[in-house]
Structure 1
Amino acid sequence: MPELPEMENYRILLNQKIAGQTITDVQINRAKSVNVEPDEFINNVSRQKVVTVERRAKQLLFHLENGYLLLLHLMLGGRMFFGTTEEKPDRTIQIQFSFGEQNLYFIGLRLGYLHLYDKTCIQKELSDLGPEPLGQEFTEDVFIKLMEKRRGRLKSKLVDQQFLSGIGNCYSDEICFHARILPMREMNELNQHEVIQLYQSIRFVLQDALKHGGYMEPFFQGDTLTGGYDSLCKVYDREGETCVRCGVAIIKEIISSRKTFYCTGCQS
């Protein structure tokens, strides 16, 4: 599932490609991917200019000139591609926006969605999200207070969107590895040094992943940035491989129904 770095990378690229552009056509091939009748969706979106695209947690918000917003959550298996009809991937397209000869394809939305809201309703949809870990207001002091009296396993809490927004399976493991902390540790057992290190690791890993384009497939033909972090993951999806830091084999375990990767040699 795309996480904060992937969605932030998408946000940057979408603003480069479609901000200020008018949606000339809308095609909906899967009605369940939207939250209103397809005709209503098309009537409110077609011929509208995309003012800007912003991100909140793992979701993107497309601001339209008429005041409506589109809330995108790719969930598991979802992705986007921007290009011509000849360039589009050989995948099932659930929704397509056209901008003249160029198209924005929404792919793999079996669980994901693109919902239409007004400004009042969108605030309700996003009201339970936790702090943005790359936001300027997310300081070390804020994180220390956030950690006070928190209970539960570290892995489970890092992926809790009400605790922190935007972190999922991949980056929770990479963060724990960078901080040298085992993901099954109990939150209330971490000492102050570990909490500060965890904060620094959250910021470092997410920023590093964003710098390298996250782990998604290319967004457009010739895109050499998107997906660059996939080969840089240290533990995620590396079961049985040798740890780059200490040489011990990476272990895979299920924690709270989530696959989790870690190294017993240099995480404690």
Structure 2
Amino acid sequence: MPELPEMETYKILLNQKIAGQVISDIQINREKSINLNSELFKRTVLLQKVTNVYRRGKHLLFHLQNGQVMLLHLMLGGWMFYGLESEKPKRTIQVQISFGEYHLYFIGLRLGYLHLYSQQEAEEKLSNLGPEPLSSDFSLNHFLGIISQKHGRLKTTLLDQEIIAGIGNCYSAEICFHAGILPTKDIDQIVESKRSQLYHSMRTVLQDGIKHGGYMENPLFKGDTLTGGFNERCNVYDREGKNCNRCGAIIINEMVSSRKTFYCPNCQK
């Protein structure tokens, strides 16, 4: 599932490609991927300029000139591709938005969605999300204050979007590895110095994820060399049974709250 770095990469690249461009056509091949009658959806967005693309947590917000917002959540298996008809991936397209001869294809929206709202409605839909972990307003003291009120396993807390927005299975594993903390550990057992390290690790890993285009391998457009660059930099995520890059121990995969949880039993205490 795309997480903060993947969606931030999409945001950056899409602003380069479609910000300021006018929507010339839209095709909806799966009604369940949208929240309105398809004809109403089309009439509302057709011939509208995309003024900007923003990110909030794991969501993208496509702001239109008429004040409407297309709110995207890719969920599990969702991705996008931008290009000519001849470059289109051989995959089922749920929604296609056209900008002249170029098209933005939404793929794998079986669980994900592209919903249309007013700006106020979009803000209300996202109002339950926690703070952005890379925001300048999200200080160490803010983080420590949040953590001090939580109990239970660290992995479960990091995944809770109402506590901190944007972190999922991949980056929670990588953050815990960077901090040298077991993701299965109860928060009450983590001393304050390690909690501070967790904050700095979170910012370091997420920034590195953005710098290298996230871990998802599908390129956004032909010639895209950024997207997916972080996949090779993962130290524990999806590396069960392989040797730790730091100490050589075997990476373990354990289920925590029905989620695969990867860690090094030697580096993480």
Same-fold status (TM-score > 0.5):
yes
Q: Name the amino acid aligned to 2:189.
A: E
User: SS of the residue aligned with 2:42?
Assistant: helix
Q: Report the Cα offset of residue 123 of structure 1.
A: 1.6
User: SS of the residue aligned with 1:86?
Assistant: helix
Q: Name the amino acid aligned to 1:67.
A: G
Q: Report the Cα offset of residue 186 of structure 1.
A: 0.6
Q: In the alignment, what sits opposite 2:202?
A: 202
Q: Report the Cα offset of residue 207 of structure 1.
A: 0.2
User: SS of the residue aligned with 1:199?
Assistant: helix
Residue 228 (structure 2) pairs with residue 245 (structure 1):
no
- Structure 2 residues not aligned, in runs of 5+: none
1:70-89 residue pairs with structure 2 within 5 A?
70-89=70-89
Q: In the alignment, what sits opposite 2:232?
A: 231
Q: Name the amino acid aligned to 2:142.
A: V
- CA–CA distance in 2 between the matches of 1:119 and 1:2? 23
- CA–CA distance in 2 between the matches of 1:81 and 1:222? 12
Identity %: 60
For residues 59-78 of structure 1, give each alpha carbon's deviation from its aligned partner in whole angstroms, at most 9, with x where no partner exists.
00000001100000000000
User: SS of the residue aligned with 1:63?
Assistant: strand
User: SS of the residue aligned with 1:16?
Assistant: helix
C-alpha contact (below 8 Å) 1:149/1:188 kept by paired residues: no
- CA–CA distance in 2 between the matches of 1:204 and 1:46? 40
- CA–CA distance in 2 between the matches of 1:136 and 1:20? 28
Q: In the alignment, what sits opposite 1:138?
A: 138
- Structure 1 residues not aligned, in runs of 5+: none
1:3-42 residue pairs with structure 2 within 5 A?
3-42=3-42
User: SS of the residue aligned with 1:218?
Assistant: coil
RMSD value, Cα: 0.6
Aligned residues: 268
Scaled by the length of structure 2, the TM-score of the pair is 0.99
Q: In the alignment, what sits opposite 2:56?
A: 56
Q: Report the Cα offset of residue 120 of structure 1.
A: 2.0
- CA–CA distance in 1 between the matches of 2:2 and 2:137? 23
Runs of 4+ aligned residues of structure 1 deviating over 2 Å after TM superposition are: none
Q: In the alignment, what sits opposite 1:257?
A: 258
User: SS of the residue aligned with 1:260?
Assistant: strand
Q: Report the Cα offset of residue 119 of structure 1.
A: 1.7
Q: In the alignment, what sits opposite 1:92?
A: 92
- CA–CA distance in 2 between the matches of 1:192 and 1:260? 23
For residues 74-97 of structure 1, give each alpha carbon's deviation from its aligned partner in whole angstroms, at most 9, with x where no partner exists.
000000000000001110000001
Q: In the alignment, what sits opposite 2:66?
A: 66
Q: In the alignment, what sits opposite 1:171?
A: 171
